[in-house]
Each structure stands twice: as structure tokens, then as C-alpha cells.
Structure 1
Amino acid sequence: MTDVMEETDSVLDAIQRYTVADNPSAFLALNSGNSYFTSENSPGVIVYRTTGRYLVQFAGPFAPEETRSRLLREFTEFARAQDRKIVAVQVQAGDTAPYVEQGFTINQMGSSFAVGLDDFTLRGTAFMQLRNKISRSLRSGLEIKEVPLDSWYEEMRALDKLWLGTKGEEVKQLEFLIGQYGGRYQHLRRLFVGVLDGRLTGYITYSPVYGQQAGWLHDLTRRHPDSPPGVMEAINKAAIDTFKAEGVHWLHFGFTPFTALEARPPLPGHNRAFHWFMGHLWKHGEGVYPAQTQLAYKEKWAPDRITPEYLAFQDGASIPGLVHIFRACNAV
């Protein structure tokens, strides 16, 4: 147990210290179920999951800029010794250089979204529908508060099960690229709940974001199927008000696949056919991932920072590589 605790503590240190590429989802590196590659020769850590013949890497190497390339090279040797390939997901533009250098194929998979809170307001006609939706939910008697996890843990687990049941019999709980609650680092997260008539009707967890755009990541969300419209928006608005009062500069809404794809990929070595395929999944891939629904929620808040995020394929872009990412996420 001590070894595991020391390992994850070193991962936390790495994502806090090495913020070269400012990955807003970096805290997901601490999800249970992840594996970690480290080297005696290169500081830092690489986060991954083993899925079939692939090592699915989360983000770029969390390491000093001058040693990221060496750490990635050692990781490729580690994969080769197992006769496996690497596919990396949620790689930031600032992390792509080592992959290009080592012959990976880099393609955009989607984008992440963030709202600057310094001047954020819901005043004005652009937010009229959102304000009205929030007001209706509050008139229903909804109470919103920030709470410790322990006081609502059992209710949250029950809501998780109920929520998942509305998605279909064969739908599984997603993981890897989505947050968790509980565990060793829960004290670093924040939890806002909506309560109606004493019953938990929705919640949002927020994870810390480090780097130049430090703030909070709007992470795991659940809503009771019988809750009134506007519950999640009201919870998030309450969290925004709290963050603004604390002087927080950024609220990140995280990564959405297939969205805000660049018309002309800027990075060398990209695969044009795979770029087309990402666009195809945006239009027709609802069964793979509800990207349009996710984006619609994020656009309600008028994000003013949209950041492309990339896939990095060892030995060329491939559909099997993409499928194994979704396998690591428990989506297929």
C-alpha cells in the first residue's frame, strides 16, 4: 500500500510541477486503474492503460521540457518489449514535438473548452434562455450547496446507478478520460450538489487545473431523470459564483471528441483520411460518443478559450488504435 501511495504522490507532484503544455485534464492522471511509467534516467511520468495490443497513453509525458523526448523514447522501448503499440490521447499542441520527432502520426481528435471568469457574467440577451432555465429550477425549491463527499456519498452512488440505467441496458460506466470521486485525493476536488425536497437531484464535481490557466475543471456530472430542467446549469452557476468570489480565473469544461476540428491540420505527419473520419464521427458518431450534446451544454456558457487536442499514433493512424482508446474508456 505504501508503494502505491508513494507512486501516486509522485504523479501528483509531476502534474503540478511540469505544466509545460497546460493540460486542463491533467488531474485525471490520478484516476484509479491507471498505470505509470517512470525511468531512472528521465524525471517525470507517463500515464497509460494496457488494452489488448496497445498501451493507451493519457496526455503527453508529464516531465521537464528538456527530458520529455527521452522519456517518450524509453516508453516506446517499454512498449516494444511487450510487442505493443502506443496510442496517446488528449495530447496538447505543446506536447507534440517529441511525437513528431519520433515518427508518430498526429491528428486532432477534438477540443477542450474554457471560460475566463474574471469578466464573466450571465447578463445580456445572449444568456437569456440560460438565465430563465436556472430561474425555473430555483423556483421549484432547488437548494444548491458545496458539500464534503462523505455526507452525500451513498446518495451519489445511488444516483449514478439510476442515471446509468437511463442510458440503456448495455451502457457501461465511462472511465479513464472522465473524472472520479473518492479515494486518496478527494480533498483536492470540490463537490456541488442540488437538493430538492431533501433528495439529491444532481451533482457536479470539479477537479483542480494547474498551470498558466489554473482553475477548476467541470468534471463528473449526474442528474436525476425526474429533476426539473435547469438543475445542472443552476449547480454550475452556483459554483461559478463561488469561484469568482475566490478570485479563480478559469473554469474548464474539458475535452469533447470530434469537435472544433481545424479545417487544415497544422502539424506535420497528420493523416488526411483520419482527419476526415473525425469529421464524419462529429456528424454521425452519436452512438460512439454524444459529442454534439456535450458541446451544446458547453456552448451555453460561451467559452472564450477553445484548445485543439490531439491523438498520437505509433506506426501510423489506425481505426484499431482509436477503438482501443474507447476500450480503455470502457465505452466499447
Structure 2
Amino acid sequence: MSPSAATATASPVLSAIRTHTRSENPSSFLALNSGNSVFTTPGADGVAVYRRTGRHLVQFGGPFVAPETYDLLLDGLVDHAEEEQLQLVAVQLQRSDAERYAAHGFTVNQIGASWAVHLPDFALRGTRFMQLRNKISRAFRNGLQVTEVAAEDWQDGIAEIDNAWLGSKGDHARQLEFLVGQIGGPAQEHRRLFVGTIDGAPVGYISYSPVYGARAGWMHDLSRRIPGGSPGLMEAINSTAIEVFRSEGVEWLHFGFTPFTGLGQEYELPGYSPSFQWLMHFLWAEGAAIYPAQTQLAYKEKWAPDVLLPEYVAFRGPASLASFAHIFRACNAF
């Protein structure tokens, strides 16, 4: 019986990420995004999730699989890519995945990091949060109201925010996919959505997706706002969600993956590519046109995250600019 590849459906993928997710992987729920494909192989209890772009197979997050069959699934995926004459590249690997991929002959480099706040220890007190408190207070003084809502009841309001946000990005801007969350689809019932309104008009939202494993909680995922509105809108929405989560006993709020951030020599594995490492540092410093990493990190650092989790990219063979570009292509960046 040969390996199979099919359109991802919520049931088997959700079961796999709940059961086998890497304990430090906060982004595993993105595996359920519409448009993903799933790979399985006989004898391996789990799945690998990917998108195909041109002659590349871009895998997300490492195999979500029982530890004893990890190598079986990874080897099956490698064989599948070779049979299809596709170049395999994997992104958003966690450290444990990165080590396994390196052992399988991949070239593995750090590509960025994700961040998390331990909610039982979190409070917006003290001078370090003074500026953040002021922005949140200003948003509420300007009439902001924040409510947790059902996405299906707010389709028009979400579309209004999305269209205004995307329109502010220029004529060629696209909605990103794959490595960012979505609203809607078969997995929506598992997400949570907080919407901000002023005088009844929608002005911003944040979608949170579940995180499983040792640092279980929620991930601050897809977020949008009306351009030019009151300062502090997103901070006020997030602070409201934090208070709800804390009242429910949630342990962790994750802020997800940001490429080119949190880079450190201590995170690299033996056999990494020095030239690709240089590129990541260059894109951190000069790559705002490709991705606004510094702006994204500045928002996350406002919340004084407790944990930095390095994330990795793995190339089947030498590090490749073409394969790196196909990650962005899989994200609909161009």
C-alpha cells in the first residue's frame, strides 16, 4: 500500500495535532487551514501537512505523529517528494523536529522565533507597562467596546475590516495564507474571536487558535484593524481577551511565529548554512518590504513574553533561495 496525499480535513489532522503535537509548537492548529494537503503512510500514526507550489513541496510544522513512527512518516514524505520530482522544504519546525531533520540529512537553519506569555504571572502593573496601559485606556476612552463573538454572526463586519486593512497595504497586497490563521472553514468552531467596535461599527478583531501540549492555551493569531483609527485598538482587544483567558484558568498566551526574529548563534544546529544565516540577519535588518518583522516583534515585546521558542527551516539538500522563495509563494505572498 503506497503513501497517500489528499486534501486536509479537520478530523484526522485535528486528532493528530491534539495527540502528537510537539509540546513547544504553538502553531500546530494552522495545519487545519483550508487549502492544506495531508500526507499519511501505512504504519505511521499521524500526518504531515503541506502545500505544493510549482515543483516544490512546502511542509508545515514537522510530522504530527507518534514518536515511534516519526522516522517512518518523514522517510515516506521524502520518498513521496522524490517520486513526484518535487523539492522538499519544511518550515516552522520546532527544535526537536529540527534535530530529527538534521539527522535525516536536511540542511537546517533557524528562520525566526515564536513567543509566549505565562498568564498566571501576568499583570499590566508597573512602569514597564505604563505606555501599554495608556494606549489601552485611550482606546476605551475613544468609545471602544470589545466582545467575544461567533464568527458566523460577524461575516460582514470582518469583511469590512479586512477590505479596509488590505486596501491600506497598496494595490498589490494579498491576504496571506498557510503560516497565518484564517476565519471560517471546518475548524472555525475551535477558534475564538474578539471584535472591537466604536459606536457599533467594527474597527478591529483578533482571532485566537487553540494550543495543545505542555504549554497549552491560546495563540494570538489573525488580527486586523481599520487603518487610521484610535491608537491602542489591538492592545485593548488583546488585553480584554487576556482577562477572559485568565478568568478561565488558561496558562499560556502564545504570540506565534515571526520570521527573522530571535536569531541567535546558540540556536543553530551543526551543519547549518552560514550564508542562509546571514540572509536571515539581513532580512531582520533590511527586509521590511518582504515582511515587517521588526514591527511584529515590537508588538509582541509590549507584553513582556516569558518564553522565546526558536523555529527552523529544513532544506532537502543545500539551503536554497528558490526553496525559501517558495515558502512565501505557499503563503500567497506573491
Q: Secondary structure at the match of 1:298?
A: helix
Q: 1:300 pairs with 299, 302, 308, which one?
A: 302
Give the CA deviation at 1:264: 4.1
- Which SS does the other structure have where 2:265 is aligned? coil
Task: Map 1:282-297 to 2 at 5 A.
Answer: 282-297=284-299
- Report whether the alignment pairs 1:97 with 2:115: no
* SS of aligned partner of 1:256: strand
Partner of 1:325: 327
Aligned residue pairs total 330
Q: Provide, for residues 162-200 of structure 1, a one-character-per-residue CA deviation record: whole Å limited to 9, x for no partner.
A: 110100000111000000011212111001011101100
Question: In the alignment, what sits opposite 2:272?
Answer: 270
The one-letter amino acid paired with 1:192 is F
Residues 71 and 6 (structure 1), Cα distance of their counterparts in 2 relative to 1, 3 Å cut: closer
Cross-structure match for 2:165: 163
Instruction: Report the equivalent of 1:40.
Output: 42
1:200 maps to which residue?
202
TM-superposed deviation, 1:85: 1.2
- Cα distance between partner residues in 2 of 1:30 and 1:49: 12
1:117 to 110, 116, 119: 119
- Please state whether the residue corresponding to 2:121 is helix, strand or coil: coil
1:226 & 1:235 partners in 2: Cα distance? 16
Question: 2:153 matched to which residue of 1?
Answer: 151
Unaligned runs of 5+ residues in structure 2 are: 1-5
Choose which of 210, 213, 219 in structure 2 pairs with 1:211. 213
**Residue 21 of structure 1 contacts residue 92 of structure 1 at CA under 8 Å; is this kept in 2?**
no
- 1:280 and 2:274 matched: no
Matched residue, 2:139: 137
Where in structure 1 do 4 or more consecutive aligned residues deviate above 3 Å? Answer: 4-7
Q: How does 1:226-245 map to 2 (within 5 A)?
A: 226-245=228-247
Q: Please give the root-mean-square deviation of Cα atoms over the aligned residues, in Å.
A: 1.4
**Shift in Å, 1:265:** 4.3
Give the structure 1 partner of residue 70 of structure 2: 68
Deviation at 1:21, TM superposition (A): 4.3
CA contact (8 A) 1:72 1:98 kept: no
CA distance in 1, matches of 2:8, 2:36: 15
Which one of 308, 311, 314 corresponds to residue 312 of structure 1?
Answer: 314
Deviation at 1:6, TM superposition (A): 8.8
How far apart are residue 7 of structure 1 and its match? Answer: 4.1
Q: Deviations over 1:219-276 (max 9, x none)?
A: 1101011320001000000000000000000000000000010124441221111111
- Name the stretch that deviates more: 253-262 or 153-162: 153-162
Q: Distance in 2 between matches of 1:20 and 1:224?
A: 35
Question: 1:161 Cα deviation (Å)?
Answer: 1.2
Per-residue CA deviations over 1:47-70 (Å, capped at 9, x if unaligned) read 000011110000110001111111
Secondary structure of 1:173's counterpart equals: coil
Q: How has the CA–CA distance of structure 1 residues 206 and 6 changed in structure 2, closer, same or farther, with 3 Å as cutoff?
A: closer
User: Residue 58 of structure 2 contacts residue 327 of structure 2 at CA under 8 Å; is this kept in 1?
Assistant: yes
Partners of 2:196 and 2:218 in 1: CA distance = 19
- The residue that corresponds to 2:129 in the other structure is 127
2:3 corresponding residue in structure 1: none
Residue 111 and residue 5 in structure 1: after superposition, are their counterparts in 2 closer, same or farther (change >3 A)?
A: closer
Q: What SS does structure 2 have at the residue aligned with 1:228?
A: coil
Cα distance in 1 for partners of 2:51, 2:7 equals 18
Task: Give me the whole-angstrom Cα distance separating, in 2, the residues matched to 1:72 and 1:5.
Answer: 19
8 Å Cα contact 2:8/2:36 also seen in 1: no
Name 1:83's counterpart in structure 2: 85
TM-score, length basis structure 2: 0.96
Amino acid at match of 1:15: I
Distance (Å, rounded) in 1 between the aligned partners of 2:110 and 2:98: 11
Cα deviations by residue, 1:96-128 (Å, 9 ceiling, x for unpaired):
233112100000000000000011000000000
What secondary structure is seen at the aligned counterpart in 2 of 1:205? strand
Structure 1 length as normaliser, TM-score? 0.97
> Whole-Å Cα distance in 1 between the matches of residues 268 and 283 of structure 2?
20
Say whether the 8 Å CA contact 1:20–1:65 is kept in structure 2.
no
Q: Structure 1 residue 19: deviation in Å?
A: 2.4
1:146 alignment partner AA: E
Structure 1 residues 153-192: aligned runs within 5 Å = 153-192=155-194
* Counterpart code for 1:212: A
> Unaligned stretches of 5+ in structure 1?
none
Kindly indicate whether the alpha-carbon contact (under 8 Å) linking 2:207 and 2:221 is maintained by their aligned counterparts in 1: yes
Matched to 2:327, the amino acid is I
Instruction: Name the counterpart of 2:258.
Output: 256
